[in-house]
Structure 1
Amino acid sequence: MNASASPARTGAIVGSLSAAGIVASLMGTLVIPLVAQLPELLHTSTANASWVVTAPLLTGAVATPVFGRLGDLYGKRRMLLICVGLLVAGSLVSAMSDSLVPMVIGRAVQGIGMGIVPLGISTMRDVVPPERMGSSVALMSSSLGIGGAFGLPLAAGVAQNADWHALFWGSAAISLLVGVAVMRFVPWAPTGTARGRFDVPGTIGLTIGLVSLLLAVSKGAEWGWTSATTLGLFAAAVIVLLAWGRFELRTGDPLVDLRATARRRVLLTNLASIVIGFAMFAQSLIAPQLLQLPKELGYGLGQSMLAAGLWMVPTGLVMMALSPLGAKLSARFGPRTSLLTGSLIIATGYGLALPLMGSVAGIVVFSCVVSVGVAFAYGAMPAIIMASVPASKTASANGFNALMRSIGLSVSSAVIGVLLAQMSHDVGGFTIPTENGFRVAAVVGGAAALAAALLTLAIPRVAAPLPAPDAPQPGRSDASPLPEAGPLSPYGTARPRR
């Protein structure tokens, strides 16, 4: 760990890594303003055009644990730069596309770049001084929400005032600048701290299982939840993921160390991550729709796409500003307290949504309160993970945690989408969610946050022992014994015994 780095040097490192995370998360909202126009722009059907949104979600979900393991084996900075290169390449392919297939390919390549966030978090453990660790990890972890909040108005402004290809030329340029910053400021961390080989069969199994699961979740409403395709994909996901888990437990060099993820602290944190991801994404489905629905409905607020996006910018600013406060709370009382506080704040935000939905200011207030809770929770989860696994597995463990969040986002999209579709009415030939539909969706989001709070209460208070430098164990080429050391601080630094 680079404990001697100057404050300016540390700030440059954290800024570069956080900017990389924000740019990666921008890719998710980049095409949202174009969704209605994509069939015409790409000369295809509406169903086919939806793959432009779905493709990066699928590749991003698979990439996060894969690049995490590659980072542990071959160097996190190296993998960060590869992810940035993929963001640039995917953006360039999309920028030069005028038809469906190359656009989907470009978007899928962009999605792989989402591996930046867990890699960045684990890199901070190696190169950031301990006293800056908490706030740095919190900011990096919150970059997923920050990028999404800033990306929508930026993309809407470009889409409304310039050729849509400019979105991707711009994302290529920004990604390239971030790559230069990473090369310039982020030092090489120790490589090869994890022993063993890369798990190719495990990667293939996880890819098939995740793609089957997320396809069924994201396309179920379109294909029909009881259709043979959807049910077949769910069945395939269950069978393949069970077989994958059995294989991972038996192999000496697993892609994901399921024994480590089965530790109570890690397991419950990952389960809480799914539910927090669900609660966070529910807000992003409720608020923009209410802002853009026509005032004639009696509950719509009549904002344009650009205006709605701009009203969401404060959520990103709040998340960025208050993530260090969550880190201070974690440092003082432990990340478990910060995660619990964040979950309860999210639930409070949804409670406020019920009386505040009728005005633009009310939407902004409820969204900002939810974002404060997300900032606290997202900063705490990687802190718990890194305090519970060996240093040689921080990237893969954070990658798996990011995967859990992605699953929560996908399930939220499906569940809230079905709920709003069921509680809707026809207005001028269009199917519009009812006001009660949005209220029920807010209740569901709040219930998810309360479920995360209950899971957090079950996380043990006492930190796990500090993982020692890895030493091989029988049958495990990269396993590490637990030394007789003092407990961990919330961010993985050892406290001396007294």
Structure 2
Amino acid sequence: MTTTTTDHHRRRPSGGGIVPVLAFAGIVVAVMQTLLVPVIKDLPELLGTSPGNATWVMTSTLLAGAVATPIMGRLGDLYGKRRMLLTSLAVMVVGSLICGFTSELLVMIVGRALQGFAMGAIPLGIGLMRDELPRERLGSAMALMSSSIGVGGGLALPLAALVAQNADWHALFFGAAAIGTLSIVLTLVFVPESPLRAEGTFDALGAFGLSTGLVLFLLPITKGSDWGWSSGTTLGLFGAAAVVLGLWGVLELRVKAPLVDLRTTARRAVLFTNLASIMVGVAFYAVSLVLPQLLQLPTVTGYGLGQSMVVAGLCVAPLGLTMMFTAPIYARLSTKYGPKTTLVIGMLIIAIGYGAGLGLMSAAWQTVVIAVVLGAGIGLAYSSLPALIIGAVPASETGAANGLNTLMRSIGTSVSSAVIGMVLANTANQVNGVAIPTMHGFRLSFLIATGAVAVGLVFALLLPRRNRVEKPQPLASSEEAVSETMPTAPTPAPIPVPDGRGDFHGFRGFRGFRGRVLGADGTPVARAKVTLIDRRGRQAGTTMSAQDGSYDLAVPAEGAYVLAARAAGHGPLASSATHAGDDRPVELDLALPGENAGVPA
């Protein structure tokens, strides 16, 4: 048996900067997705290639992000979420610099794929927030992180359009590299590493299988309108994806430490949350595709609004800004009614926004109204998703689970891009060899988005009912937040075998942990609360230390555990330890740091 105790006396950065810094990282990720939207129609000319080949500049980012998201989430659970967040951002910066110095198609595709790796920052940031923040701040923080993808997209669109109109288009990539570097520096300064680690090893074969299956699935979705949905290539890739993902699923059920715990994923709460996420992704991307085109079409079409690239970006920007402002509203609603109710309310607002949009397309101010309403609904929906996932999975799997949830949103946006693109193309009018989208196509796109929201609403209503979140009390550390927010398992009663001393500490047959809680000066600490957390992040027992500082906590089975201790006048402590499962206690003293020493590093 082995025990490992974290160095709790190392200085830890203040938690005040964690939320804005991680939210900024999410905004940086979103910028990567919308960076080239203002110049997308000019990419064939800029890269000296065909329109079909130029689409790979956008597709490569999507595919790389889809592949990297669950992998980086799992690596974060195993080796440190902050470490993997920094890695994701560093790869993105390298990709941005590659793109900034080239106009060659293949090199540009490689750089854009590297930019896509930044998508892993969203689940990693959510995981860090759960591990580091007290419960009273967690809801609004996760909501802000989750909605940052929309905030970044809304803000980046007008800024990117302004840069593209007034400077060389490569400046977009240098700007992306600069904000990526800034995000790395801020993360190093303000974000501590999480002390929580998942058990097991990295499932390399599972990562390869998932990556292959996702590429085979997303590739025909993004290129189906170009290849033809009934073509042999499209159908063949869908068939290959089904086979590869099926074999991957069988493998994941058999390995000891899978990349994705499919048994957890199959839980009702996780399954329906992920399915709802796909529908929210469809709804989010539909408005992003329709409104900018409608705004920029010339007025001679009879329905185009004739706005410039920058004005069109400004009209759509409220979509992201409203998503940001809904984060605190979500926290209050979720605290009172629960994240399921908040998700349902968000879905209903999205449906109202798209329904109103069918008749509000004749002026620029009307598109702003649509963006605000849809932003409010999408913000509430997006903010609810991580809370629903975190409430249904063990603490050690939050990175991978939120990574999978982010992947579901990416699949939703991919499907939306393909379907809406196909609808607009098939309903377009040809004018001098140029396809001009029609109002019929725009309205049909909004109807499709409304249908997706309706399906998502059904999935949301099928989520299990949860009790309302009680008004949170201040917690001393993230470890306590983990233990107090996870389901409580009953503490198994020890089977003591007296050794003649007549006290509990003398029982040789006690299977668990025992020792003393000590202060920074080595004196015993009475009435310290000691909580036992199992490898799945669930509370397995709790006790209070005696007058001499002694404690005993039984364990249900062998394995790795975390003992979290807190007491008035002392800093909190979390110590990891492993029990062999035999009827011998593991001696482990818990030395609490001073009150101002901070939480464990």
Letter aligned with residue 28 of structure 1: Q
The Cα offsets for residues 289-328 of structure 1, whole Å up to 9 and x where unpaired, read as 1111111111110111121111112222211112210121
* 2:396–2:537 Cα contact (<8 Å) kept: no
Deviations 1:328-378 (A, max 9, x none): 111111000110000000000001101111111111111211110111011
Q: Which runs of 5+ in 2 are unaligned?
A: 1-12, 468-484, 491-533, 543-601
Q: CA deviation at 1:468?
A: 7.1
Compute the displacement of 1:481 (Å): 8.6
Q: Distance in 1 between matches of 2:350 and 2:264?
A: 29
Query: Once the two structures are superposed, what CA deviation does each residue of 1:86-122 show, in whole Å capped at 9, x if it has no partner?
Result: 1111111111112111111111000011100010011
The equivalent position to 1:48 in structure 2, one of 36, 49, 53, is 53
Q: What is residue 459 of structure 2 aligned with on the other side?
A: 455
Matched, 1:184 2:240: no
2:149 matched residue in structure 1: 144
> 4+ residue stretches of structure 1 with deviation over 6 A?
none
Q: Distance in 1 between matches of 2:329 and 2:262?
A: 32
Q: Can you give the 5+ residue segments of structure 1 that lack an aligned partner in the other structure?
A: 1-7, 470-477, 487-498
Please tell me the residue identity of whatever aligns with 2:400. S
Q: Which residue of 2 aligns with 1:495?
A: none
Worse-superposed segment, 107-116 or 41-50: 41-50
Contact 1:389 1:467 in 2 (8 A): no
State yes or no: 1:94 paired with 2:99. Answer: yes
Q: Secondary structure at the match of 2:168?
A: coil
Report what 2:128 is aligned to. Answer: 123
**CA 1:42–1:436 in 2, change beyond 3 Å: closer, same or farther?**
closer
2:300 match: 296
Secondary structure in 1 matching 2:429 = strand
With 36-45 and 87-96 compared, the bigger mean Cα shift is at 36-45
Q: Which residue of 2 aligns with 1:442?
A: 446
Instruction: Kindly indicate whether the alpha-carbon contact (under 8 Å) linking 1:326 and 1:379 is maintained by their aligned counterparts in 2.
Output: yes
Deviations 1:389-426, CA, capped at 9 Å, x for gaps: 00000000000000000000000111111122222222
Q: Secondary structure at the match of 2:359?
A: helix
Give the letter for the 2:166 counterpart: N
Tell me the CA shift for residue 479 of structure 1: 6.5
Asked if structure 1 preserves the Cα contact closer than 8 Å seen for 2:396 and 2:535, the reply is no
> Deviation of residue 141 (structure 1)?
0.2
Q: What RMSD, in angstroms, separates the aligned Cα atoms of the two structures?
A: 1.8
- Determine whether 1:277 maps to 2:298: no
Q: Which amino acid is 1:145 matched to? A: G
Deviation at 1:430, TM superposition (A): 1.9
C-alpha offsets along residues 449-492 of structure 1, whole Å, 9 cap, x if unaligned?
121111111100136962779xxxxxxxx973965789xxxxxx
1:258 aligns with 2:262: yes
Matched, 1:411 2:467: no
- Distance in 1 of aligned mates of 2:232 and 2:259: 31
Residue of 340, 343, 346 corresponding to 1:342: 346
Query: How far apart, CA to CA, are the structure 2 residues paired with 1:141 and 1:483?
Result: 27
What CA distance in whole angstroms lies between the structure 1 residues aligned with 2:106 and 2:426? 32
Question: Which residue among 13, 34, 41 is the counterpart of 1:36?
Answer: 41
SS of residue in 2 equivalent to 1:121: helix
Q: Distance in 2 between matches of 1:230 and 1:336?
A: 37
Q: Which amino acid aligns with 2:274?
A: N
**Structure 1 segment 304-323 matched on structure 2, within 5 A:** 304-323=308-327
- Within the alignment, does 1:378 sit opposite 2:382 as a pair? yes
Say if 1:390 and 1:468, in contact at 8 Å, map to a contact too: no
- Equivalent-residue separation in structure 2 for 1:241 and 1:17 (angstroms): 32
Residue matched to 1:389: 393
State whether residues 395 and 536 of structure 2, in contact with CA within 8 Å, keep that contact through their aligned partners in structure 1.
no
Equivalent residue runs for 1:462-473 within 5 Å: 462=466, 466=487
CA distance in 1, matches of 2:109, 2:537: 45
Q: Deviations over 1:148-191 (max 9, x none)?
A: 11111111111110111111111111110110000000012114
| Residue number among 223, 226, 239 corresponding to 2:227 in the alignment | 223
Partners of 1:261 and 1:467 in 2: how far apart? Answer: 20
- Asked whether the 8 Å contact 1:327–1:376 carries over to 2, the reply is no
Where 1:35 maps in the other structure, the secondary structure is helix
Counting only pairs closer than 5 Å after superposition, residues 104-253 of structure 1 correspond to structure 2 as 104-191=109-196, 193-253=197-257
**Larger strand fraction of residues:** 2
Give me the whole-angstrom Cα distance separating, in 2, the residues matched to 1:300 and 1:465. 52
Is contact 2:339–2:387 with CA below 8 Å preserved after alignment? yes
Could you tell me which residue of structure 1 aligns to residue 373 of structure 2?
369
SS in 1 for 2:430: strand
Task: Give the counterpart letter for 2:97 in structure 1.
Answer: L
CA gap of 1:324–1:485, structure 2 versus 1, over 3 A, is farther
More helix by share: 1
Tell me, yes or no, if the aligned pair for 2:395 and 2:538 is still in contact at 8 Å.
no
* Distance in 1 (alpha carbons) for counterparts of 2:295 and 2:48: 30
What is the one-letter code of the residue matched to 1:68?
G
Distance 1:281 1:155 in 2: 18
Please state how far the C-alpha of 1:36 moved relative to its aligned partner. Answer: 2.3
**SS across alignment from 2:305:** coil
Q: 2:24 matched to 1:19?
A: yes
Query: Is residue 61 from structure 1 mapped to residue 117 from structure 2 by the alignment?
Result: no
Between structure 1 and structure 2, the one with the greater Rg is 2
Q: Cα–Cα, structure 1 residues 335 and 429, in superposed 2: closer, same or farther, change >3 Å?
A: same
Contact 2:21 2:183 survives alignment (8 Å): yes
Q: 1:127 to 1:96 in 2, by over 3 A?
A: same
Distance across 2 between alignment mates of 1:329 and 1:318: 16
CA distance change for structure 1 residues 271 and 122 in 2, over 3 Å: closer, same or farther?
A: same
SS of residue paired to 2:362: coil
* SS of residue paired to 1:356: coil
CA shift, 1:21, in A, is 0.5
Structure 1: distance between partners of 2:137 and 2:537: 28
CA contact (8 A) 1:33 1:305 kept: yes
Amino acid in the other structure paired with 1:332: K
> What is the CA deviation profile of residues 68-100 of structure 1, one whole-angstrom value per residue up to 9, with x for unaligned ones?
000000000000110111111111111111211
- Alpha-carbon distance in structure 1 between the residues aligned to 2:280 and 2:55: 25
Query: TM-score if structure 2 supplies the norm length?
Result: 0.76
Determine the C-alpha separation between the residues in 2 that align with 1:462 and 1:122.
Answer: 22
CA distance in 1, matches of 2:419, 2:277: 17
* CA positional deviation for 1:431: 1.8
Contact map agreement 1:12 1:185 (CA 8 A) in 2: yes
Cα distance in 1 for residues equivalent to 2:346 and 2:434 = 37
8 Å Cα contact 2:17/2:190 also seen in 1: yes
Establish whether residue 77 from structure 1 lines up as the match of residue 99 from structure 2.
no
Deviation at 1:227, TM superposition (A): 1.4
Alignment TM-score, normalising by the size of structure 1: 0.91
SS in 2 for 1:371: helix
